[in-house]
Structure 1
């Protein structure tokens, strides 16, 4: 009976130790710091962007495509125009934006005028993209963690997040999801209630864009 008590006690201590270890969450600052470092070395990614609500001077409601760190991107977007959503295909290459609406061919527009349409290549820009946003996050707190994936809530200063998402003019609440130290999802909530969601996947796959014929 005495030996049984010893074995039960040892098992209880072992299980308690495992629970404590597995339940410990990494510091939020550590998670976003590692993600910022990892995202600076990403050369390409697939992305989706969704805007829920209104952003001043930004007409894009959602977009999906591929982009690389050289500033090239190709995909499609839904743009609000005269109260209606219009789906367009776009190609961004050599600092020029080509877009095609429901009818007709591609039209060339200087990339400098693409701000209202949103420039997705900002995502991998180390000076204003997700790496900058992650490294500038304040009061980061890990709220979930499982098998290499972490969820962190934080606040991002308006001057930093505006470099990634134009039209934001206030500090925002952010929720970051990472997997193997890379950012997979980011949700920014504005004081007005509007939300911007960005999802990233297919990191470092071979991708280049060329001007449409």
Structure 2
């Protein structure tokens, strides 16, 4: 047998092995998307606190919030920074929401207390952990879900979220929106929710789940 023929067999076997290892998992091997979302919604309903970040990419002037970063707890208290659209102008504020009262601080001056009825005009992050309006509601409302991957410690599911449900999490969303959710593979707690809109996208990131968050009114 020639040396060339002797090498052909092992080379073919090696190529076959590499192809098998790098091939895309078949849909049958991935977890059911609806079940993943339901379990994730249940897991998020029990979360007591989180650090959150909202990032807007592109030109999306219709959104009430253009960015936010802070901490909140399930009791309805929150603190952080937000960029919001106010009468066509971008306003950057520090905010504290404590015991139902909203305090904001702009580029100058100290904190000012606003009526609670106005908190939605700045940004109300407490919706994030509200099981009736926040991420749990969003996860339960996804239409046509599809599991994209489940590897490397995360599970990713995509689908469409109705506009009214998405708007409770990101004010200003006015159409049903293509969405992508990344969850911890073991606990199925949500890591990121990404919404694709005409002109850009919004990504909500959650971290430090159940880490103690205490919020007190500004002095």
Does the TM-score normalized on the shorter chain lie above 0.5?
yes
**Offset of 1:50 from its aligned partner?**
1.7
Distance of 1:142 and 1:57 partners within structure 2: 28
Counterpart of 1:201?
207
Distance 1:130 1:85 in 2: 26
Whether contact under 8 Å (2:54, 2:205) holds in the other structure is: yes
Q: What is the distance in 1 between the residues matched to 2:90 and 2:166? A: 25
Shift of 1:57: 6.2
Q: What residue number does 2:150 align with?
A: 145
Q: Contact (CA 8 Å) 2:82, 2:123: kept in 1 or not?
A: no
| Residue 28 of structure 1, CA deviation | 1.2
Could you tell me how far 1:81 is from its partner in structure 2? 5.3
Cα distance in 1 for partners of 2:89, 2:158 equals 34
Tell me the distance in 2 between the aligned counterparts of 1:163 and 1:79.
15
In structure 1, what is the equivalent of residue 194 of structure 2? Answer: 187
* Cα-Cα RMSD: 2.5
2:72 is the alignment partner of 1:67: yes
1:212 pairs, out of 209, 214, 218, with 218
The separation in 2 between residues aligned to 1:57 and 1:26, in whole angstroms, is 34
Answer yes or no: is 1:45 the counterpart of 2:50: yes
Task: Please report the TM-score for the alignment, with normalisation by the length of structure 1.
Answer: 0.83
8 Å CA contact 2:93–2:105 kept in 1: the answer is yes
1:95 Cα deviation from its structure 2 partner: 1.6
| Native 8 Å contact 1:37 1:131 kept in 2 | yes
Q: Is the 8 A contact 1:47 1:201 kept in 2?
A: yes
Consecutive unaligned residues of structure 1, counting only runs of 5 or more, are 1-14
Q: Is the 8 A contact 1:136 1:160 kept in 2?
A: yes
Match runs of 1:65-144 below 5 Å: 65-80=70-85, 85-144=90-149
Q: Which residue number corresponds to residue 5 of structure 1?
A: none
Q: Report if aligned partners of 1:63, 1:76 keep a CA contact under 8 Å in 2.
A: yes
Deviation track 1:109-161 (CA, whole Å, cap 9, x = no partner) reads: 12321223221110000001000000111111111211441111111111221
Unaligned stretches of 5+ residues in structure 2: 1-16
